[in-house]
Chains A and B, each alone.
Chain A
Amino acid sequence: MTGSKIRSGMTRLVPYAFILPPMIYLMVFMFWPLARQMYMSLTNTRIINPNRGRFIGLGNYERLFDDPAFYLSLKATLVYAVLAVVFGVSLGVISALAIDRPFKGRAVVRAILLFGWAVPNVAASLIWLWMYNDRSGVFNRITEFLGLGRFPWLTSTELALGSILAVTVWQVAPFVMLVVLAALQSVPHEVREAARIDGADGLSTFRAVTLPHIRPAIQLASLLVCVWSIRRFDIIYLLTGGGPVGTTSTLVVKIRQIAFEGHELGMASAYGAVGLVLALAIAALHYVVEQRRMKWMSR
């Protein structure tokens, strides 16, 4: 009896034993650094003496919310993230739908579409940097050939963010495509066939049959693309460094500037805290929308 009680007790502990290693990993590499960062945002820590910061309460946040540059960064971040989601997800969904049906050369087309995802961010950024080059870049060679003249892709306040978005979309759309492609496999073929027999055109079939099945995948992909865009640094830093005139100076780029140029680790942590709140807000919104959808479906 005692033995069976012990065994029963140990059996109850088994799930916790399995989740313990990842929990320890998360505690050490995520939650502890996060907690330290939140505390650091309340100090005047400098990167040059990271252990000698003094507690200053909300001083960093007061400066932050009083600084017009913060609002510019926030705006750049939100615009960049929203447009990355809109264009990245749209292109990913369209690509997934296009290669869902079998056709000759589908494997090759799929490989080409996946290329952007496969190339490391830094390599991709440097390649695109050259493609955008004013004198030698392939884009301006094409526009000159077409009689449109040269464009300052990365040095124009109107074009720089769009140029960075192009690189971003090129990289994230393949990921969205893969996620949606997997979801498309769950769409019952018979239902699609029935809709076709009933005379529904492609768009109606997509709206009534396909979209409800792939909506959760699109939502998840949108969430991930949005959060990644808020965190994206390499593409923006390598292409424009946050310029021109701060139009691409997102929160992450600003964090680097404050931490490594201004040496203000405390202030940079405050910016990081704002970024974290933004990402959590988006995740919470996704959760609420998902919960409502589940409730609606279970009626």
Chain B
Amino acid sequence: MFKTIYRRKFLVTAMLGVVLAASTTDISHAQSGGKVTLKIANSQWLDALRGKNLWAAVQKYQEVAPNVTLEQEAIPSAEFADKLTTEMGAGQGPDIAIMQEGLFYAMADAGFLVDIGKAAEGVTLNKTNDNGMIDGVRYGVAWQRAAYALIYNKPVIDAAGAKVPTTVEELITSSKAAAAKTPGVIGFTARHQINDFSGWFMDFQNWAYGYGVNWVDKDGRLTIDTPEAVAAVQAFKETYASGIIPIGDSMPTQRTRFKEKHVAFSIDNSGGTLNIASGGALPSSEIGAAAMPFKNPGAHQQIFLGVSAHSDHQEEAIKFLAWLVSKPGQQALRDASGPDALATDVPVTDAFAAANPWAPAFAKLGETSRSTLIPGYEVETAQIMRFVMQAVEKVILSNADPKTALAEAQLAVDKQF
């Protein structure tokens, strides 16, 4: 009898447990119907100071949408493309990705991004958003556009009596003068190694565009070994061979050296300069910015936001984007973005410009800068530029003739594409 009683008790308890678990699940479903968590992937979350500020700006959305919780997916910049590609390829990944233009195109091409046209309705987007439209569908809105400029340490070059250069020859002269005047100072920093390929090819586009390079002709044919490209590679070689660049230093190391007042000149984008101007020994007021020492405008790095086609919360993600491109969202983002151009024309505040005298130069340069992607070959740009950068490497390390090296690159590109 007791066995029977205990068995019944056990069965009743078990049934109650099942009912409770099911109802709890139901309750949590009902709760999750209201509460949504959006995961946003960005490499900038890891940037010193700026990352924290950007995240704080984005989190302001939670004040207007209390049912939404935003969550970071912070991936180091060097691994961002690989990781996101793998995640999205496997049907996973964040709800929203903040990605460089090249990756954005690859994701859109693969069908991993959704139409976010609704987010931009009623908003006057500026031209930084143009490439977010592919075949008439809006897959992305601009997060930031970071133009490139020649930045310099004002006290160091003033002490050397060096002038802000307008040509590569002047750059070499001024860099050498600055390094000679102040022991321990490096004349000029720039990416120069193939193990930093993704950053290097984007930076190198400044040299290429500066010398008038178009990587495709009017018929859409890839043109690698043009006289302009030869001139650009030759100029880079002269700079490399002059001894003003700290050979072997990675870009983060070079930026740190700039922060510590050990660099005279650098070619960097506005995001990198904001990084340099924050939290180091060099006050922001002592950083200057000017046009790069080339005849033609340079490049910019464009970052887009897109909503993942794998996201379970696409509607909510699009609403977040709509807030981000609205006036409050853009103003929140402006305060954390330095002089980077945003999706709408939100000017840099007077206070920011006064505290950061280098900022207006970037804004000006952003008006004429070009995308680092090759028109018509946006998805294949990295592969094409691999051949170009290998040619540059041969020139600077093996003393190859730029014309010959680029001709070989042209052959390789023609074979593959």
Contacts and interface: CB of A to CB of B under 8 A. Distances in A.
Interface of A: 46-50, 132-135, 137, 152-157, 237-246, 257, 260-263
Given A241-B196, A242-B195, A157 B248 contact: no
Interface in B84-111: 85-86, 88-90, 106-107, 109-111
Interface stretch (B38-46, B126-134, B391-399): B391-399
Interface residues of B, number: 31
B106 A48 contact: yes
Given A49-B110, A50-B89, A240-B195, A261 B386 contact: yes
A157 B397 CA distance: 7
A132 B107 CA distance: 38
A152 B247 contact: yes
A156 B86 contact: no
Contact of B85 (A48, A239, A240): A48
A154 B390 contact: no
A244 B249 contact: no
A44 to B, nearest CB: 14
A261 B383 contact: yes
Contacts of B112: 48
Contacts of A133: 248-249
A241 B82 contact: no
Given A135-B246, A262-B383, A48 B88 contact: yes
B222 to A, nearest CB: 16
Given A152-B248, A244-B194, A244-B397, 16 more contacts: A46-B110, A47-B89, A48-B107, A49-B111, A50-B89, A134-B247, A134-B248, A134-B249, A135-B247, A135-B248, A153-B248, A155-B193, A241-B193, A242-B195, A243-B194, A245-B393
Contacts of B208: none
B242 to A, nearest CB: 14
A48 B382 CA distance: 15
A152 B399 CA distance: 15
A237 B390 CA distance: 16
A46 to B, nearest CB: 8
A238 B106 CA distance: 25
A152 B243 CA distance: 12
Interface of B: 81-82, 85-86, 88-90, 106-107, 109-112, 186, 193-197, 246-249, 382-383, 386, 390, 393-394, 397-398
Nearest to A135: B246
A132 B248 contact: yes
Given A135-B249, A241-B197, A261 B382 contact: yes
Given A134-B247, A135-B249, A157-B398, A257 B386 contact: yes
A152 B111 CA distance: 45
B94 to A, nearest CB: 16
A244 B395 CA distance: 11
A76 B59 CA distance: 49
Nearest to A150: B247
Contact of A49 (B81, B89, B397): B89
Nearest to A156: B397
A118 to B, nearest CB: 26
Given A48-B112, A243-B193, A257-B386, A155 B89 contact: no
B216 to A, nearest CB: 19
Contacts of A262: 382-383
A237 B195 contact: yes
Contacts of B246: 134-135
A50 B85 CA distance: 10
A245 B398 contact: yes
A241 B86 contact: no
A155 B248 contact: yes
B150 to A, nearest CB: 22
A244 B393 contact: yes
19 contacts: A48-B88, A48-B109, A48-B112, A133-B249, A135-B186, A152-B248, A155-B248, A156-B397, A157-B397, A239-B195, A243-B193, A243-B194, A243-B195, A243-B393, A244-B393, A245-B393, A257-B386, A260-B81, A261-B383
B102 to A, nearest CB: 10
A171 to B, nearest CB: 19
B141 to A, nearest CB: 22
Nearest to A240: B195
B397 A155 contact: yes
B393 A47 contact: no
Contacts of B193: 155, 241, 243
A186 to B, nearest CB: 44
A107 B104 CA distance: 56
Contacts of B194: 240-244
Contacts of A239: 195
Contacts of B110: 46, 48-49
A137 B107 CA distance: 40
A102 B86 CA distance: 53
Contacts of A135: 186, 246-249
A263 B106 contact: yes
A49 B196 CA distance: 26
A126 to B, nearest CB: 11
Nearest to B240: A155
Contact of B397 (A48, A134, A245, A261): A245
Contacts of A260: 81-82, 85
A157 B81 CA distance: 29
Nearest to A46: B110
Contact of B390 (A50, A238, A240, A246): A246
Contacts of A245: 390, 393-394, 397-398
Contact of B86 (A47, A155, A238, A257): A47
A137 to B, nearest CB: 8
Contacts of B107: 48
